[in-house]
Amino acid sequence: MATIHRVLGIYTSLRSTGVAVIEQRGSSFLVRASGLVKNPATRPHTACLANLFESVRDLIAKEQPQEVAIENIFFCKNVRTAVVLGQARGAVLAACAMAGVPVYEYAPRRVKQAVVGFGGAHKDQVGKMVSAMLGLKEIPPDDISDAMALAICHLHQLRGPARGDPI
């Protein structure tokens, strides 16, 4: 019987966070859940963080992933953007920590390398490859395909010694 491994990929932002729970059975992948955690521009900042925390907490409770994969912090030219992204990541990390689910982070180039085979791939290439790997009829929106790519990247790393960095 094939080992089953379930990973939650999270592509974090304040207004539109992509989430995807991917399950691996042997060499095949199955999408158990995917979507966006949306926060309208009119919602106060703290309410956005609370919604992000609660949505991730509820998804973890429902889907029971064994691990979580997120994108590591990358270079931001705008300090305000970096701070807001850091706060959103904090809400996500707190939800994962409260649920006791280990979190691993991956550099964007590493995720693209794992999924497309080229670290400089464009978002549309990632979406097409994720769609093909998961047998999807349509290419998902960028934030969702990025979350799926993070989960797939982590699942690929489980076979080798180069697992992402635990947080």
Give residue-wise pLDDT tens across range 61-117.
999 999 999 998 766 778 888 899 999 999 999 999 999 999 999 999 999 999 999
Residue 159: what pLDDT? 63
Residue for token pair 């939650």: 8
Rounded to an integer, the average pLDDT of 153-166 is 73
Residue 2: what pLDDT? 62
Question: Structure pTM?
Answer: 0.93
The number of CA neighbours under 13 Å toward the Cβ of 157 is 24
3-state secondary structure of 137: coil
Residue 75: what pLDDT? 65
Tell me which fold the domain 4-161 belongs to: Nucleotidyltransferase; domain 5 (3.30.420)
**Residue 19: both structure tokens together:** 């989430």
Rounded to an integer, the average pLDDT of 50-65 is 98
